[in-house]
């Protein structure tokens, strides 16, 4: 194969034809002129987020799945109250079930201090019983409409460390400056309005352009149960299909279903190196048990599976050809595909991709490789439980 043909193949996902096909099938929205900053752990992420909240001048929009009344949660609340006190408009959308252990007094304090709080999907039968299983799994903060923070991090102490002990989980976040932030703020107001919140008059039927801040191209992919098909799953599958050299994945809840499995098998079949970093321990043991039920066909095909040790892995990252990065709230599981509101950011940047590749290599060094021989020697009870629990995978 000539150098030119190899180059074309390596950059297939960057061709206009692939880009148009991707956007058409995932409803992705693309923006140039952004600056994306990687936070390799929650300690860095929260330091930057709290600093930005302290500098907010006009408005703050926040959407989080879990907010706990612990040290980090209280510092978060203090930042919001301080912003509201100096005249910043602060709106907070939180998932009712995700925050079910958080006392009502936490949100009453915020409301009393001028923060507009709204729970997502509180129990009601107006939408039907099936709606009770829907979650707002997004985690994002938009500051003054020009800067956004997002990733897999909830507002809780276990997310705010450096990922090297059982009490400080391993997670990843990003900050975006530039035009893509406007799309994220629009998603927030759509969710806010869907839950009965009032949208500011200046936001109705209006566009607020954000100036360019860098050279990174960003695509936003959102998904939810209101869609007829899963754009989140579609974006993962198409990214895998566009890979020419390598696919590197870190994900905490790996229950991918047959379509993602087939996509990974096709990739390795055409010579792509596929590496999965999954958790050695999990806060949801049933999910890990079901997850291991997918290992055998992947290992037999030559896919490399590693289990991150020393901490609880919560990072949700996919890196294609060390260039195209997906980071966001979505897990590689059926709940994220069909039952949660999610948002992922795709960054097309060689520099950013290199940073993620270095981060992945560091996590790989702290992971243990799973071999097919070892996996086949697991006990009969574990095999039986995998079979019995697999039909429940859609609800885990």
Catalytic residue among 314, 333, 338, 363: 314
Using pLDDT thresholds of 50, 70 and 90, give the confidence band for residue 377.
confident
Residue 233 above 80 pLDDT?
Answer: yes
350 is annotated as an active-site residue: no
Using pLDDT thresholds of 50, 70 and 90, give the confidence band for residue 6.
very low
**Domains of the chain and any CATH numbers:** 10-395 (3.30.870.10)
DSSP state of 231: H
130 is annotated as an active-site residue: no
Tens-place pLDDT, residues 111-141: 999 999 999 999 876 666 666 789 999 999 9
Distances (CA, A) of 212 to 188, 216, 350: 21, 10, 18
Catalytic residue among 27, 70, 133, 144: 144
pLDDT of residue 2: 39
375 is annotated as an active-site residue: no
168 is annotated as an active-site residue: no
Using pLDDT thresholds of 50, 70 and 90, give the confidence band for residue 24.
confident
Q: Cα separation of 142 and 155, whole Å?
A: 15
With 0-12 CB in 10 A as exposed, 13-18 as middle and 19+ as buried, what is 132? middle
Tens-place pLDDT, residues 67-97: 999 999 999 999 999 999 999 999 999 999 9
Catalytic residue among 68, 134, 168, 316: 316
Mean predicted confidence (pLDDT) in 359-381: 91
Catalytic residue among 68, 134, 139, 338: 139
pLDDT of residue 161: 82
The two three-digit tokens of residue 169, written as one number: 């989980």
Structural contact between residues 258 and 396, judged by C-beta atoms closer than 8 angstroms? no
Tens-place pLDDT, residues 234-252: 999 999 999 999 999 999 9
Q: Which of 16-25, 47-56, 320-329 has the lowest mean pLDDT?
A: 16-25
Selection from 180, 342, 160 nearest residue 251 by Cα = 342
The two three-digit tokens of residue 17, written as one number: 């034809």
Residue 64 above 90 pLDDT?
Answer: yes
321 is annotated as an active-site residue: yes
Structural contact between residues 39 and 45, judged by C-beta atoms closer than 8 angstroms? yes
Catalytic residue among 171, 321, 348, 363: 321
Q: Cα separation of 86 and 40, whole Å?
A: 31
Catalytic residue among 137, 168, 248, 338: 137
The two three-digit tokens of residue 104, written as one number: 């009502």
Q: Cα separation of 172 and 151, whole Å?
A: 6
DSSP assignment of 74-139: HHHHHHHHHHHHTT-EEEEEEETTTTTTS-HHHHHHHHHTT-EEEEES-S-STT-GGGGG-EE---
pLDDT of residue 129: 64
Supply the pTM of this predicted model. Answer: 0.92
Q: Name the average pLDDT for the chain.
A: 90
pLDDT of residue 375: 85
300 is annotated as an active-site residue: no
The set of residues, in sequence order, having a beta carbon less than 8 Å from that of 99 and lying 6+ positions away, is 66, 67, 68, 119
Using pLDDT thresholds of 50, 70 and 90, give the confidence band for residue 4.
very low
The two three-digit tokens of residue 29, written as one number: 């929205």
């Amino acid at each position: 194969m000539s150098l030119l043909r190899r180059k074309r193949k390596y950059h297939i996902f960057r061709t206009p034809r692939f880009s148009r096909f991707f956007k058409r099938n995932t409803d992705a929205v693309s923006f140039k002129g952004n600056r994306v900053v990687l936070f390799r752990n929650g300690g860095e992420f929260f330091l930057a987020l709290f600093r930005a909240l302290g500098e907010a001048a006009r408005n703050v929009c926040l959407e989080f799945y879990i907010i706990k009344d612990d040290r980090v949660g209280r510092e978060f609340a203090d930042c919001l109250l301080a912003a509201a006190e100096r005249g910043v408009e602060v709106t907070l959308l939180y998932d009712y079930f995700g925050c079910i252990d958080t006392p009502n007094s936490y949100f009453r304090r915020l409301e009393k201090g001028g923060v507009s709080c709204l729970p997502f999907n509180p129990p009601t039968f107006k939408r039907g019983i099936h709606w009770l299983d829907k979650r707002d799994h997004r985690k994002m903060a938009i500051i003054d409409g020009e800067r956004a923070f997002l990733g897999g991090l909830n507002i809780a102490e276990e997310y705010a460390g450096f990922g090297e002990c059982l009490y400080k989980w391993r997670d990843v976040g990003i900050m975006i400056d530039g035009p893509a932030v406007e799309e994220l703020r629009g998603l927030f107001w759509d969710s806010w309005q869907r839950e009965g919140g009032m949208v500011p008059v200046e936001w109705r039927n209006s566009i607020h352009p954000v100036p360019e801040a860098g050279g990174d191209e960003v695509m936003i992919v959102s998904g939810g149960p209101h869609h007829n098909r899963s754009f989140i799953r579609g974006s993962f599958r198409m990214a895998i299909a566009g890979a020419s050299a390598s696919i590197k994945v870190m994900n905490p809840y790996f229950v991918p279903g047959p379509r993602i499995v087939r996509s990974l098998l096709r990739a390795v079949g055409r010579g792509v190196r596929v590496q999965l970093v999954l958790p050695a321990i999990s806060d949801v043991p049933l999910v890990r048990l079901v997850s291991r039920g997918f290992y055998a066909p992947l290992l037999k095909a030559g896919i490399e599976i590693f289990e991150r040790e020393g901490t609880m892995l919560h990072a949700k990252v996919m890196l294609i050809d060390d260039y195209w990065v997906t980071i966001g709230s979505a897990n590689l599981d059926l709940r994220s595909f069909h039952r949660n509101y999610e948002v992922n950011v795709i960054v097309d940047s060689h520099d950013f991709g290199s940073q993620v590749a270095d981060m992945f290599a560091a996590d790989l060094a702290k992971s243990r490789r799973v071999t097919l021989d070892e996996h086949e020697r697991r006990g009969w009870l574990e095999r039986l439980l995998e079979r019995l629990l697999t039909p429940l995978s859609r609800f885990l």
